Every structure is written in C-alpha cells, then in structure tokens.
Amino acid sequence: MRRAWEQQIEERRQEKERAAEAQAAAERARADDDERRRQAYEADEAKRRAHVAEWRTALAQQLDELRAREREAAECRRLAAEQAAIQRQVETIEAQRERVERERSARQLATYQRRQHKVQLTRRAKEVQEELEEDNRRLQQMEQLVREQEEVRKTVMRWSR
C-alpha cells in the first residue's frame, strides 16, 4: 500500500510535472504566438510606414509637378496678356499709320489739285492774253483799214471835187 501510495504520489507528481510542462509549453506557445503576432504587427507597421513614406514622396512629387504646372500656366497667362497688349499696340499703330497715310494722300491730292488748278489758270490766262493780243492786232488792223478807208474817201472826195 505504501508502495501504491508512493506510486500514486509519484504519478501525481509526474502528472503535476506533465501539467506544469504542458502549462509551460502552452505559455511558451502563447508567448511564441504573441511574439509572432508582435513581429507580424511590426512588419505590417513597417510596411504601412513604408507605404506612407512612398505616398508622402509621391504626394510631394505631385505637388511639385502641380506647382510647376501652375507656374507654367501663370507664365502662359502672362505671355498671352503680353501678346494681347502687343497686338493692341500693333493695331493702334496700324490704325495711326493708315490715318497718316490717308491724310498724306489727301494732302498730295489737294496739292495736285491746286497745281492743276494753277496750271489751268495759267493756261487760261495765257489763252486770254493771246486772245487779247489777237483782238488788239485785229483791232489795229481794223483801225488801219478804217484809216486807209478814210484816206481813200478823202482822196476820192478830193478828186471828185
């Protein structure tokens, strides 16, 4: 009996040892499982941080590109406004040039017309002068004829007497 009792004690001790070992094994398994979960969490967290860093880098690059596009757009708007201002200046200058050309043409026409009028007046004055000279010459001829007729009449009257 004693032996059976010792045997029972030994079995209980071994059972306690097995239970303690099983509990220790379970605790080690839990600890290992917790460690694996912690490592997996840390790995996931590292991946998440890497993704966040990639996203930040991509976002920063996109912001830089957007700012560059905005600068280009602002430069294009500035150049377009400058081009429009230049175009307005060109149109204004062209309108002034056309106005000056019309005024010059009008002055040239007026000068030409004055010259033509002067030439016509000069020619007409010359014609009138020539006509007057011709009339004077004819008048002198007529006067000469009248004098000659008077002479002839006087002579005829003297002879008839």
Distance CA 161, CA 158 (A): 5
- For the chain, give the mean pLDDT: 92
CA angle centred on 4, ends 3 and 9, rounded to 5°: 95
pLDDT band at 19 (very low <50, low <70, confident <90, very high): confident
pTM of the model: 0.45
Distance CA 53, CA 59 (A): 10
Q: Dihedral of CA 132/136/137/142: which sign? A: positive
pLDDT single digits (tens) 72-117: 999 999 999 999 999 999 999 999 999 999 999 999 999 999 999 9
Helices (H), the chain: 2-160
Distance CA 69, CA 78 (A): 14
